Structure 1
Amino acid sequence: MTPNELANACAQRMWSQDTASQNLGMRLGLVETGRSTITMVVIETMTNGHGICHGGYIFTLADSAFAFACNTYNQVTVAQHCTVTFLAPAHLGDELTATAQERSRQGRSGLYDVTVKNQDGKVIAEFRGNSRTTKGTILPE
C-alpha cells in the first residue's frame, strides 16, 4: 500500500465513525499523507446573534481537517493544543473549505496549519494544531 493509499484508508475508517463532522454536514475531500480538505455549508443553526457563522463551527471544521491530516500514518493521533485566528466573517449559505497541511512531524508530536476559506477564496480563519500520537492504530493490524 502506498503512503497516500494508507492515508485514504485511515480517513475512510475514521470518517465511518465521525458522527460529529457528518452531523454538521461536513464532506471529506482530498486526503493525502499529512494533508486533508473538508468542506461545510453554513446553515441557519450555525449563525450567532450577529447573523454570522459562530466561531465554534469554524473551529470545528478546521479541527476536523486537522484530525484527518494528522491521522494519515495509521497511528492514533489526537490534538494536544490548537489556536485559531478569525480573519473575516462567514455568512449563512457560505461553503467553507478547510485545508490542513502538515508542517512538522517529529517523534510523537506534529504541527499542522489549517486555512479556512469561503467559496470565493476569501480566507476566513487560520488554525494551528499541535498533535500527539498515542497508542494504537486506526486500521486493524
Structure 2
Amino acid sequence: MKDGKQQPAAIDVFALAARDNFARSLGIEIVEASLGRAVSRVRLEERHINFIGVAHGGLVFTLADAAMGYASNSQGILSPSIDSHILYSLPARAGDVLTATAVEIARTSRLSNYRIDVARGDGKLVAAMTGTTYITGKPVEV
C-alpha cells in the first residue's frame, strides 16, 4: 500500500492461484490481491475437521501460507517462503468461513516479511502467522 491506497499487483495473482493445485484441492480460493497483499478464504467442510471436532491446524496453516505466497509473489519476482510461525488462538468448525489476510510489513532486496491474520466470519482471530520469503530475483512465470 502507498498513501493508504491499494496498488494493483504487478502480475495476475489470480492466474498463479489457479495453478495452486494443492490449495484448490482443499477448497481454498483467492479473494483479492494487490502489491504485497492478498486475501484467501475457505469454507470449512467435514473433510477439514480433525479428530477433536475443529479445523485441522494444517488446513489453517495452508490457508495462511497460500495468502502469503500470493502476496509475496504479487510483484512478479519469485519469492518462496523460507520461514513461518503460527499461533492458533480460537477454534473453527465445519460451516465456518475462514479468511486469511497477508500483508507485507517489511521488504529488502532479498527478504520480505509478512503478517497473516486468519479470521472466522464473525471477525474473531483464529490464528496469526508471520513469515519470511526469499526474493530470488527471478521472474514469476504466470
Normalised TM-score (structure 2): 0.91
Which AA in structure 1 matches 2:87?
A: T
Query: Is residue 13–residue 138 contact of structure 1 (8 Å, CA) maintained in 2?
Result: no
Amino acid at match of 1:13: A
Deviation at 1:16, TM superposition (A): 2.5
Q: What CA deviation, in whole Å up to 9, does each residue of 1:94-118 have, x standing for no partner? A: 1000000000000110100000000
Write out per-residue CA displacement over residues 34-81 of structure 1, whole angstroms, 9 at most, x where no aligned residue. 000001011111111110011010000000000001101111110010
Residue of structure 2 in register with 1:39 after alignment: 41
Which runs of 5 or more residues in structure 1 are unaligned?
A: none
Q: Does 1:6 align with 2:10?
A: yes
Secondary structure in structure 2 of the residue aligned to 1:12: helix
Unaligned stretches of 5+ in structure 2? 1-6
Specify the alignment match of 2:32 in structure 1.
30
Runs of 4+ aligned residues of structure 1 deviating over 6 Å after TM superposition are none
For 1:108 and 1:13, locate their aligned partners in 2 and report how far apart those are by CA, in whole Å. 24
Aligned partner of residue 69 in structure 2, secondary structure:
helix
Deviation at 1:139, TM superposition (A): 3.9
Alpha-carbon distance in 2 for matches of 1:104, 1:50: 37
1:100 aligns with 2:102: yes
Q: Assess, with a 3 A threshold, how the Cα gap between structure 1 residues 25 and 139 changes in structure 2: closer, same or farther.
A: same
Matches of 2:18 and 2:135, distance apart in 1? 21
Question: How far apart are 1:136 and its partner, in Å?
Answer: 2.3
1:116 aligns with 2:87: no
CA shift in 2, pair 1:73/1:5, >3 Å: closer
Deviation at 1:15, TM superposition (A): 1.5
Distance 2:124 2:57 in 1: 16
* Match 2:62 to one of 43, 60, 63: 60
Task: Give the Cα–Cα distance (whole angstroms) in 2 for the partners of residues 28 and 49 of structure 1.
Answer: 27
1:117 maps to amino acid: A
Q: For 1:90, give the aligned amino acid.
A: A
SS at match of 2:16: helix
C-alpha RMSD of matched pairs (Å): 1.3
1:81 corresponds to which letter in structure 2?
A: D
Please identify which structure carries the higher helix content: 1
Question: Given the superposition, is the C-alpha separation of residues 57 and 5 from structure 1 closer, same or farther in structure 2, using an over 3 Å criterion?
Answer: closer
